[in-house]
Amino acid sequence: MAQTETGVNRQIVLKRRPTGVVSEECFTLVEAPLTGPDELADGEALVRNIYLSVDPTQRGWISRDTYVPAIQPGEVIRSGSAGQVVASRSARLPEGTLVTGLTGWSEYAVVSGNVSPVAAGVDLRASMSVLGATGLTAYFGMLDIGRPRPGETVLVSGAAGATGSVAGQIARIQGARVVGLAGTAEKCAWLTGELGFTAAINYRRDDVPARLRETCPDGIDVYFDNVGGSLLELVLERIRLKARIVLCGAISQYSDEEPSPGPRNLMQLVIQRSRMEGFLVFDYLERYPEAVAQLSQWLRGGDLHYRVEIMEGLEAAPRALRALFTGGNTGKLLVQIAPEP
């Protein structure tokens, strides 16, 4: 075990469930005893976390049971993470191995099956973004559910986010026209510039219905929805025959105390013989290698770009989570709590 270990494992636990937009008062930083190397069970390893993920879905996890049980007050905040094995009783995870997986907002984590080694040569930040859960979500959601064809029009909401930015580029690579919705001029410029989107709509400033008409004159074939809410009704007005609406997330609604009404025009799905479908990336576990291989190839070929923003220190994690809901970040937001080796 490396000499930097102090016997203390600082971690962030849930203090109380949020009301409205999540704030730092919902969390407490606590010091727990650090598991020693001789306390590991057979097959376990101790990981020192380097990067912690913040994701919109955590807003659900700290509020209620969803597709996973709710995090209870006093429990460490569950999160994606990347780190390095510092002590091991696992043949699969020898000391020094870099791993990613689902641990939590803590300096250290005892792991067994819940992490995977990072392949040699893979950038750790890439493994937490474009090659991690958000990139894989974009990959399976766009290709398996959205299925864009050359020349079709694909609309992506939350397009400058970690998932939306990759989803839109994948649609572009398939030959589709891609229109993205984002909340600042800078984000929109990134979409139509580096990422090669056909057009971008600033949903805070633009006349969204008018811009949808301009940018999707023949209608919308695929809508990759990260935000939910009233936008969906506008989009349904403009779907084409056999459209596919990919329900990925609903970040605009996660902070609501009362659920908002849904779109009044679901009959558009009948009139246009169209489909709306939800999915979770975890269901595609067996196909992760295929997705990582394809995304990596697109990265190497210069077809796919990504951006990672870093906030520093374990204490920053609650602030980082909040930033997702206030439109603060572009691309993938990570919290770095230790230097890369």
Which residues lie near a copy of itself (CB under 8 A)? 66-67, 228, 232-233, 247-250, 253, 259-280, 283
Query: Which CB sits closer to a copy of itself, 7 or 261?
Result: 261
275, 243 in Cβ contact below 8 A? yes
List, as one string, the DSSP characters of 51-76.
Answer: EEE--THHHHHTTS-SSSPPPPTTSB
> From the centroid of its chain, how far is CA 17?
21
**Residue 221 DSSP label:** E
User: Shortest gap between Cβ of 250 and a copy of itself (angstroms)?
Assistant: 5
User: Shortest gap between Cβ of 233 and a copy of itself (angstroms)?
Assistant: 8
Return the closest-CA partner of residue 12 out of 70, 60, 101, 77.
Answer: 77
CA separation for the pair 45, 43 (Å, rounded): 7
Query: Which CB sits closer to a copy of itself, 1 or 280?
Result: 280
Query: Which CB sits closer to a copy of itself, 120 or 270?
Result: 270
The pair of structure tokens assigned to 275 is: 């489909």
Provide the 3-class DSSP secondary structure of residue 128: coil
Burial class from Cβ neighbours inside 10 Å (0-12, 13-18, 19+) for residue 106 reads: buried
CA separation for the pair 70, 61 (Å, rounded): 5
145, 284 in Cβ contact below 8 A? no
Distances (CA, A) of 50 to 75, 89, 108, 110, 134: 20, 21, 9, 14, 18
Query: Which CB sits closer to a copy of itself, 60 or 83?
Result: 60
User: Shortest gap between Cβ of 260 and a copy of itself (angstroms)?
Assistant: 6
User: Shortest gap between Cβ of 232 and a copy of itself (angstroms)?
Assistant: 8
44, 112 in Cβ contact below 8 A? yes
User: Shortest gap between Cβ of 174 and a copy of itself (angstroms)?
Assistant: 21
Query: Which CB sits closer to a copy of itself, 109 or 145?
Result: 145
The pair of structure tokens assigned to 2 is: 């490396």
Query: Which CB sits closer to a copy of itself, 45 or 232?
Result: 232
CA separation for the pair 192, 121 (Å, rounded): 30
User: Shortest gap between Cβ of 272 and a copy of itself (angstroms)?
Assistant: 7
User: Shortest gap between Cβ of 228 and a copy of itself (angstroms)?
Assistant: 7
User: Shortest gap between Cβ of 17 and a copy of itself (angstroms)?
Assistant: 18
Query: Which CB sits closer to a copy of itself, 247 or 323?
Result: 247
Query: Which CB sits closer to a copy of itself, 141 or 318?
Result: 141
